[in-house]
């Protein structure tokens, strides 16, 4: 409860600041182009209204779990990106209309939030530039369509984050829009000179997208990739210590990690974090009892990623509520491995009905209040159960 309250206060404070600064940017920018009071008021009010829509969209999309690139709770990161887009919009009218890099602004706003929020935020920035430049409807149409296309194609990326095809498609749409809305409507005879600035725009947009998305991938998508590759290696020193301490605990961790990884991948969750939690759920025994204090000390010493520490705390600390979907995956994997291993320990030659056993485990877990605060949906629970059943050939390795 305290955590949720703190998150809400953080969101309100950051978005209130973003709202106020957006109005300030609009007012300051308007003063560069006009001293008329009605124009200043119009621009400021419209940007504030648009910013309110952007904040509402971000909040609703976060609540509905529609973010693609783990942007949940990253309010400051998005606020800085949005304010940066507004600031750029103030100065872009000094450039030729065909040279505005709005494709980059739309795409970055989209990947730092989600499609709907990015489209709303990009539109506010675009409207500000069009207003300052005294541009026509065709200018807005040009960059809105190309920006929407960019958001859509880049919103389909997975954790591999291969940008080649989305880059090609978004630049192709931008090329078509520039040609249809600017060059063909210029009323002049077609010449190579007309294509110079649009060509520069395409090159600059391509370079900015490549650099920005590379930084985004390193900082957000793959920030912990190397660390997870290290700690999720069965020969990592901590796991070797666990094996020396207790081979039963070690092999239990290996089997639980395998199943957690498989389930998390198929559900589109953070599989690396789930796998790490499964490996280290009992690592506290290296320091005595498997208390959260001991587990947390190990996590701190070996610099575990924040999401892994969060999942481990939910799993190990009995006073903590289970919220994360990854924690639920590890919880069921651990319970199923424990149940099968226990039955094989009693009778190594037992012929188990894995499907019935899995059904029983799920039924008993769902009868408790353990998952009441979890973010996982009933459809994901059904899918998880189905995947566990499909893995029944693996369970013979637990004999």
- Which residues fall within 8 angstroms of residue 206, CB to CB, at 6 or more apart? 167, 171
Per-residue pLDDT tens digits of the chain, which is 399 residues long = 444 677 788 889 999 999 999 999 999 999 998 878 888 899 999 999 999 999 999 998 888 767 766 677 788 989 999 999 999 999 999 988 888 999 999 999 998 888 899 999 999 999 999 999 887 788 888 899 999 998 988 876 655 567 788 888 888 998 888 887 666 555 556 666 667 878 888 898 889 888 887 777 766 666 677 788 889 998 999 999 999 999 999 999 999 999 999 999 999 888 999 999 999 999 999 998 999 999 999 988 888 888 889 899 999 998 888 989 999 999 999 999 999 999 988 888 888 899 999 999 999 989 888 888 888 888 999 999 999 999 888 888 887
**If you ran DSSP here, which 8-state letter would residue 281 be given?**
T
What's residue 182's pLDDT? 62
Q: From residue 356, how far is each of 202, 330, 364, 392, 394 by CA, in Å?
A: 59, 20, 12, 11, 16
Could you give the 3-state DSSP secondary structure of residue 195? Answer: helix
- Return d(Cα 322, Cα 143) in angstroms, integer: 44
- Return d(Cα 363, Cα 369) in angstroms, integer: 12
- Which residues fall within 8 angstroms of residue 270, CB to CB, at 6 or more apart? 70, 264, 307, 326
Kindly list the domain boundaries of the chain, sorted by start residue.
Answer: 2-221, 225-398
What's residue 185's pLDDT? 58
- Return d(Cα 165, Cα 222) in angstroms, integer: 20
> pTM, whole model, 2 decimals?
0.62
What's residue 183's pLDDT? 60
**If you ran DSSP here, which 8-state letter would residue 305 be given?**
-
CATH 3.40.50 holds for 225-398: no
- Return d(Cα 239, Cα 260) in angstroms, integer: 17
Cβ density class 186-224: b for 16+ within 10 Å, e for less: eeeeeeeebbebbeebbeebbebbeeebeebbeebbeeb
């Amino acid at each position: 409860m305290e955590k949720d309250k703190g998150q809400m206060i953080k969101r309100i404070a950051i978005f209130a600041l973003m709202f106020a600064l957006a109005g300030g940017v609009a007012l300051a920018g308007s003063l560069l182009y006009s001293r008329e009071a009605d124009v200043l008021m119009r621009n400021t009010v419209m940007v504030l209204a648009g910013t309110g829509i952007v904040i509402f969209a971000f909040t609703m999309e976060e609540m509905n779990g529609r973010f693609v690139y783990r942007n949940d709770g990253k309010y400051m990161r998005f606020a800085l990106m949005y304010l940066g887009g507004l600031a750029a919009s103030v100065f872009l009218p000094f450039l030729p209309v065909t040279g505005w890099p709005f494709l980059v602004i739309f795409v970055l706003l989209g990947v730092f939030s989600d499609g709907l929020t990015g489209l709303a935020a990009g539109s506010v920035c675009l409207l500000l530039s069009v207003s300052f430049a005294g541009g026509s409807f065709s200018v807005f149409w040009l960059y809105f369509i190309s920006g929407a296309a960019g958001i859509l194609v880049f919103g389909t990326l997975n954790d591999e984050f291969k940008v080649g095809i989305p880059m090609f498609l978004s630049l192709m749409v931008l090329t078509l829009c520039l040609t249809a809305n600017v060059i063909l409507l210029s009323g002049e005879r077609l010449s190579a000179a007309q294509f110079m600035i649009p060509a520069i725009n395409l090159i600059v947009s391509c370079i900015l997208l490549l650099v920005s998305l590379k930084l985004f991938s390193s900082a957000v998508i793959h920030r912990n990739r190397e660390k997870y590759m290290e700690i999720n290696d069965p020969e990592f020193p901590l796991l070797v210590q666990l094996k020396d301490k207790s081979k039963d605990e070690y092999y239990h961790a290996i089997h639980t990690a395998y199943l957690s990884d498989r389930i998390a991948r198929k559900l589109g969750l953070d599989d690396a974090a789930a796998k790490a939690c499964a490996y280290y759920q009992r690592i506290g025994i290296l320091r005595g009892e498997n208390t959260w204090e001991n587990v947390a000390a190990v996590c701190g010493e070996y610099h575990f990623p924040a999401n892994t520490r969060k999942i481990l705390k939910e799993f190990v600390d009995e006073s903590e509520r289970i919220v994360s979907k990854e924690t639920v995956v590890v919880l069921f994997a651990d319970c199923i491995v424990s149940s099968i291993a226990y039955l094989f320990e009693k009778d190594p030659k037992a012929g188990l009905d894995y499907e019935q056993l899995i059904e029983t485990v799920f039924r008993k877990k769902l009868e408790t209040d353990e998952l009441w605060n979890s973010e996982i949906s009933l459809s994901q629970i059904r899918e998880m159960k189905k995947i566990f059943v499909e893995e029944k050939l693996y369970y013979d390795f637990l004999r």
